[in-house]
Structures are given as C-alpha cells and as structure tokens.
C-alpha cells in the first residue's frame, strides 16, 4: 500500500464519519471539517480497524491528526516502521 492509496482510504473513512464528500482539500480537520473529540475517537478506531494497527497513547496527539497529510504520515510510520 502506497501513500496515495492510504490517502484515499483515510479520506473515505473521514468522509463517512463526517458525512462529507471524500474530495476535500488537505486543510485543518477540526476547523474546516468539524472533527471534534467524539468524531476523532471514532475516526481513530476506524483507522485502526481499516489498517490493522494499534495507536499508542503517544501517537494520539492533536498535531498527528491535524490534516490528512499528518494522518497519512502517521499511518506510514505505523505500517512501515524503520528498522
């Protein structure tokens, strides 16, 4: 799975969660798309289920979930940890 595929899946998950179109710019997810704390928890669980990963407490920080790019970067780190 590459960055583009992960980006597409993240957008699909978020769009389903927020009931918006998956074709949205990579902007502030909270301010521009209404990703509040409850939606963030559900989004995190959806990502864990979709990608077969587990987020550690230190992974769950606002800046890690601020934009689609930051979420994709985090997922790439979790899916392909450096040795």
Q: How would you write the chain as a 3-class SS string?
A: CCHHHHHHHHHHHHHHHHCCCCCCCCCCHHHHHCCCHHHHHHHHHHHHHHHCCCCCHHHCCHHHHCCHHHHHHHHHHHHCCCC
Tens of pLDDT, residues 18-54: 888 888 878 777 667 777 888 888 999 999 999 999 9
Indicate the average pLDDT of the chain. Answer: 89
CATH number of the structural domain spanning residue 17: 1.10.1200.10
- Domain containing residue 54: 3-79
pTM of the model: 0.88
Q: How many residues does the chain have?
A: 83
Domain count, the chain: 1
């Amino acid at each position: 799975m590459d960055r583009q595929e992960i980006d597409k899946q993240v957008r699909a998950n978020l769009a389903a969660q927020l009931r918006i179109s998956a074709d949205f710019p990579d902007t502030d997810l909270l301010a521009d798309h209404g990703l509040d704390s409850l939606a963030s928890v559900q989004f995190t669980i959806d990502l864990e289920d979709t990608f077969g990963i587990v987020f550690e407490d230190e992974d769950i920080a606002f800046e890690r979930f601020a934009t689609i790019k930051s979420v994709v970067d985090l997922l790439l780190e979790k899916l392909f940890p450096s040795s």
